[in-house]
């Protein structure tokens, strides 16, 4: 049976490709075609044409996987395969992912849906998929060798189960896990409530936290790295390549974050207070929520928070571990703050390169200003990069901007540009008094005695040595 593009829920950016042979109960003729996308830009939300309505999510620098209905079953097709992911303009990584990207496409469905997910393996080794946080039959849990045979290269397996509860979940391999997750194999799985009014929001964003270790000039991550990664990413992208969150003033907004890196991340948002409303275990009762501006996302966990976007402006959203808001960073670089390197610079320029630039004697801010002009190896990024309307932002890694604006249309996620601050609302430089102006008021030291005096009394005899 040849499936036409019209059989899929619409996705204009996707192209369709065939699948390999099937293992299990389904026959090859029953495999739905697999959508694929390679653009690193955020795709529009995918609204359901039938069934319960919901506000679909948008994935930072990603997309939602189309599906088809086959009787009572909602069918998806994931293809595990090597992919090329643009980390930010100027750098690509050779990763493993799903359907053309890493992370793979977000899967969206509704509580109570029966889902059938075809998984085709185009990797050079076997794999599986674990549905992280899902309540399902043991044989569908995706732990290779324990709950199922491995999916060999060229084979397709079928996962079938009913979605027991709504919430925020993930998918990733449980086969050669250290390698495959280090290579970027992961994705989001969002299950919307059956009641369209339960936990309803106006905008719903999702992204995964991951880390890569890619040497300058190379393309493939080092899979043995445990903590000393040099690229900390939102959805396998680093600033300034991470999509901004465009939000209409007054919208109720949910941000869902999953962490499949090797360390916890304190995610901090400026300008608003929020409440944590969902974990991978389910929705948090209203009585158990508390106001926050930072939420720590543990390894292998998901957190969703909500807020009302009531303050227009540009607001930073980032990991608060400072090294995680930098790009390709050398961990063995010496500290030169306060060191006069003028003699060294002359020597190095004469021996190595006349373009050598000394850095670090007065901090590293020069890298933000001159990073784009500094010679670098192929396929790498400056440690600090990106410019705002007032100059270099000196950021990289896990950093993006929440842009709250009046007048945006519903479901309009286009970048609205930098915020136009009302007059008198931007911090300004204090000008010193010009010649001829009266002197500014000076605060003199007080001359009066303090109101309370303390008198020290020497101890009496008998306390020597104490």
pLDDT tens for each residue of 158-173: 999 999 999 999 999 9
Q: Quote the pLDDT of residue 414.
A: 96
Q: How far is CA 324 from the centre of its chain?
A: 11
Closest alpha carbon to 118 in 85, 73, 83: 73
In a domain, 265, yes or no: yes
The tens digit of pLDDT for each residue in 122-136 reads 999 999 999 999 999
For residue 375, tell me if it sits in a domain.
no
Q: What is the mean pLDDT of residues 340-346?
A: 69
Q: Please check whether residue 102 is in contact with residue 236, taking contact to mean a CB–CB distance below 8 angstroms.
A: yes
Cα 64 off chain centre by: 16
Chain-wide mean pLDDT for the chain?
Answer: 85
- Each as own residue / partner, the long-range contacts of residues 418-427 (CB below 8 Å, 24 or more positions apart, any chain) are 418/314, 418/388, 418/389, 419/312, 419/313, 419/314, 421/313
* pLDDT tens per residue across span 375-417: 778 898 887 778 899 998 888 999 999 999 999 999 999 999 9
Phi first, then psi: what are they for 6, rounded to 5°? -70, -20
User: Is 392 a domain residue?
Assistant: no
For residue 1, is pLDDT > 80?
no
Q: Model pTM?
A: 0.82
CA angle 325, 190, 177 (to 5 degrees): 65
pLDDT at residue 299 above 90? yes
Residue at 244 is within a domain: yes
The b/e string for 364-387 (b: 16+ C-beta within 10 A; e otherwise) is bebbbeebeeeebeebbbbbbbbe
Ramachandran category for residue 93: left, alpha or beta (phi over 0 → left; psi -120 to 50 → alpha): beta
pLDDT of residue 438: 63
Domain for residue 367, yes or no? no
Please tell me the distance from the alpha carbon of residue 461 to that of residue 217, in angstroms, as a whole number.
77
Band of pLDDT at residue 255, cut at 50, 70 and 90: very high
Q: Would you report the helix, strand and coil content of the chain in percent, each value rounded to 5?
A: 10, 35, 55
Give the per-residue pLDDT at 429: 92
pLDDT band at 10 (very low <50, low <70, confident <90, very high): very low
Q: What does the DSSP assignment read for 105-120? A: PBEEEETT-EEEEEEE
User: Phi and psi at residue 30, in whole multiples of 5°?
Assistant: -95, 0
The model's confidence at residue 62, banded by pLDDT at 50, 70 and 90, is very high
Confidence of residue 228 (pLDDT cuts 50, 70, 90): confident
Of 30 and 158, the structure prediction assigns the larger pLDDT to 158
User: Which residue range(s) make up the domain with 307?
Assistant: 13-317
Can you list the alpha helix ranges (DSSP code H) found in 329-428?
Answer: 342-351, 365-370
Q: What is the mean pLDDT of residues 33-59?
A: 94
Number of domains composing the chain: 1
Supply the CATH number for residue 61's domain: 2.60.40.420
In a domain, residue 424? The reply is no
Q: Which tens digit of pLDDT belongs to each residue from 70-100?
A: 999 999 999 999 999 999 999 999 999 999 9
- Percent of the chain exceeding pLDDT 90 equals 69
């Amino acid at each position: 049976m040849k499936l036409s593009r019209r059989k899929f829920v619409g996705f204009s950016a996707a192209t369709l490709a065939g699948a390999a042979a099937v293992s299990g109960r389904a026959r090859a003729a029953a495999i739905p075609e697999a959508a694929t996308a390679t653009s690193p830009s955020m795709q529009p939300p995918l609204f359901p044409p039938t069934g319960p309505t919901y506000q679909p999510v948008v994935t930072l620098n990603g997309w939602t996987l189309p599906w088809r209905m086959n009787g009572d079953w909602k069918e998806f097709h994931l293809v595990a395969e090597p992919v090329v992911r643009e980390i930010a303009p100027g750098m690509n990584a050779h990763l493993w992912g799903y359907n053309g990207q890493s992370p793979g496409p977000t899967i969206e469905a509704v509580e109570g849906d029966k889902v059938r997910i075809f998984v085709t393996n185009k990797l050079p080794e076997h794999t599986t998929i674990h549905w992280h946080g899902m309540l399902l039959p043991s044989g569908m849990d995706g732990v290779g060798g324990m709950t199922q045979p491995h999916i060999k290269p060229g084979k397709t397996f079928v996962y079938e189960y009913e979605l027991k509860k709504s919430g925020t979940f993930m998918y990733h391999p449980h086969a050669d896990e250290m390698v495959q997750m280090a290579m970027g194999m992961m994705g989001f799985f969002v299950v919307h409530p059956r009641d369209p009014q339960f936990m309803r929001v106006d905008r719903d964003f999702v992204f995964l936290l991951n880390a890569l270790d890619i040497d300058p000039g190379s393309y493939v991550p080092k899979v043995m790295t445990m903590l000393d990664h040099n690229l900390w990413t939102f959805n396998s992208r680093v600033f300034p390549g991470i999509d901004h969150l465009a939000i209409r003033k007054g919208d109720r907004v949910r941000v869902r974050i999953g962490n499949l890196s090797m360390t916890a991340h304190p995610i901090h948002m400026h300008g608003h207070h929020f409440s944590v409303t969902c974990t991978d275990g389910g929705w948090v009762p209203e009585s158990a929520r508390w106001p926050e501006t930072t939420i720590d996302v543990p390894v292998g966990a998901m957190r969703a928070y909500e807020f009302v976007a009531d303050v227009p402006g540009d607001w930073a959203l980032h990991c608060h571990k400072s090294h995680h808001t930098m790009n390709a960073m050398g961990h063995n670089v010496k500290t030169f703050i306060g060191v006069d390197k003028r003699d060294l610079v002359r020597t190095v320029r004469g021996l190595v390169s006349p373009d050598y630039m000394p850095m670090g004697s007065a901090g590293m801010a020069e890298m933000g200003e001159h990073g784009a002009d500094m010679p670098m190896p192929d396929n790498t990024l400056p440690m600090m990069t990106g410019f705002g309307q007032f100059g270099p932002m000196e950021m990289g890694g896990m950093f993006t901007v929440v842009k709250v604006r009046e007048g945006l249309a519903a479901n309009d996620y286009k970048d609205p540009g930098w915020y136009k601050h009302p007059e008198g609302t931007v911090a300004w430089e204090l000008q010193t008094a010009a010649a001829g102006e009266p002197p500014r008021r000076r605060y003199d030291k007080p001359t009066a005695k303090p109101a309370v005096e303390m008198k020290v009394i020497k101890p009496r005899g008998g306390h020597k040595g104490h």
